[in-house]
Amino acid sequence: MSGFYNRTTEISALEDAWKAPDSQFILLYGRRRIGKTFLLQHFLGQGKPHCYFLAAQTRLGENMAQLAQSVINCFPGSDLTPADLPTFRSILKFIGQAAEKERLALVLDEFQYLVEQDSSIPSQLQAWWDTDGIRSRIFFVLCGSHLGVMEGLGGPQAPLFGRFTLRHKLPPMNYRDIACFYDNSPYTVRDKLMAYGILGGTPRYHALFDARRDLSANIQDHILGPMGVLHNEPEILLSSSQIRDPFPYNAVLAAISEGGTRPNEISQRTHIPSTKLSFYLKTLMELEWVERETSFGDTSQRRSIYRIADPFPLFWYRFAATLRSELEFQETARVYEKKVEPYLNDYMGRYVFERICHQYLKLKSRGSGSLQLKRAGRYWSRNGRLEIDIVAKQSDGRYLFGECKWSSSPIGVGVYYGLREKTAMLTEIEYGDNPLYALFSLSGFDDNLKRIAAEEGLWLVSGDDLLCGC
């Protein structure tokens, strides 16, 4: 399937910048496959004059010649050749003159490749911007996927510090935005949420799935099947992230996907000494493959756990990577039926549904309703005996406690009373002051629980509620 979905905040910000009377210098970055280029293509494709160039991992001279040709191609009838624009400065001067009176966009995509080939590129760009670019009507966009390089462009010690008029790191889509990929399809609420749980917040992956076919067929064809486009995707992305030796990183990701969330557990599973493990974890966090999580209210990082930041690599390392040998020698459908499908509900309940519920609370808090949260997270006690799926502090000082159930049937009052028992065990006095309780259930709630909810102000959120409006 294809199409452009959501990204309304980004489109609005870009439109405002385009309509501004002065020059614009924009930094747009984010991890690979997240939709940066597609966003810019959609925005500029609405009749806006623009030049687009995608840098390559090749020699600087070749990139400059191709950039010059891309710029020249934006002016049909021009008798210029790349030889007339031999340097980066000459290209900038030409495009700046073309944008002296009328708005013109220039997009340099995968800009980090130019910087890696010539570290003076940002300084050259700064010199041109300060003298000529800022006085034109140029709409200049630097776009890239190397997070460290792109973030560094706006750093306090960087030549371009203070020059950007708009700086944005494009995030993954949330589960509700992803559901739009499956509008007008026979997919149920469970299917839509599970599609997010399998492919995560990367729009490019969801564009591969054909919603006219059932979810299992898409999983088999695109992820599990040896010929699938996503069959080796995480390994390909790791190899393209300037990591010299991807093997220990793969081992760490596999260990986390199997439930090893604490450093000592990861070290035991991977046989990587703790002295070296911290380096791999730090790198994976910088690449946004892994995130560190602390228990709600805990100010120390000693009890932190690590988890894979996005559902797709989590699913891939949990299933596709471990079944690789079987997938090579057995029919994909057979492997799926025996080794994947029976465990999908457990996977969603254990690893994904809580994330979806946390995203739902953030979306509700951003709205105009009464729910206004200051912070939220999961809670686990020091001895590991007490866990609460959701603890959130509201702007009025009250706390919200929530339980998340990826259920196949409506849940009853036992879940509610169990949540209240857990909160009664909390030692912090402030937690007990007129708390709000919330239950999340894929399949809804039985009549008895609904009655109690109406009497006690319990907040019930079903699978349909999670996707309300989608």
Judge whether 263 and 282 are in contact, CB under 8 Å.
no
Judge whether 438 and 147 are in contact, CB under 8 Å.
no
Phi (first) and psi of residue 183, to 5 degrees: -65, 150
Judge whether 253 and 356 are in contact, CB under 8 Å.
no
Rounded CA separation 201/173 (Å): 4
Coil vs helix vs strand at 54:
strand
Q: Domains, the chain, ranges and CATH?
A: 8-169 (3.40.50.300), 176-349 (1.10.10.10), 368-466 (3.40.1350.10)
The pLDDT tens digits along the chain (470 residues) read 456 777 989 999 999 999 999 999 999 999 988 999 999 999 999 889 999 999 999 999 999 999 999 999 999 888 899 999 999 999 999 999 999 999 999 999 999 999 999 999 999 999 999 999 999 999 999 999 999 999 999 999 999 999 999 999 999 999 999 999 998 899 999 999 999 999 999 999 999 999 999 999 999 999 999 999 999 999 999 888 778 889 999 999 999 999 999 999 999 999 999 999 999 999 999 999 999 999 998 877 778 999 999 999 999 999 999 999 999 999 999 999 999 999 999 999 999 999 999 999 999 998 767 788 999 999 998 887 899 999 999 988 889 999 999 999 999 999 999 999 999 988 765 676 788 999 999 999 999 999 999 999 999 999 999 998 54
Residue 362 pLDDT: 93
The candidate with the shortest Cα–Cα distance to 420, out of 398, 452, 451, 388, is 388
Beta bridge partners of 462: 441
- How many CA atoms lie less than 13 Å away from 381 in the CB half-sphere? 11
Residue 1 pLDDT: 42
Residue 382 pLDDT: 83
pTM over cut 0.75: yes
Judge whether 80 and 26 are in contact, CB under 8 Å.
no
The candidate with the shortest Cα–Cα distance to 402, out of 387, 383, 389, is 389
Rounded CA separation 169/144 (Å): 10
Rounded CA separation 177/315 (Å): 20
Residue 469 pLDDT: 54
Q: Where are the alpha helices (DSSP H) in 367-446?
A: 413-424
Burial 78-96 (b: 16+ CB within 10 A, else e): eeeebeebeebeebbbbbb
Residue 369 pLDDT: 72
Residue 191 pLDDT: 97
Label the pairing between strands 373-380 and 387-394.
antiparallel
Judge whether 365 and 346 are in contact, CB under 8 Å.
no
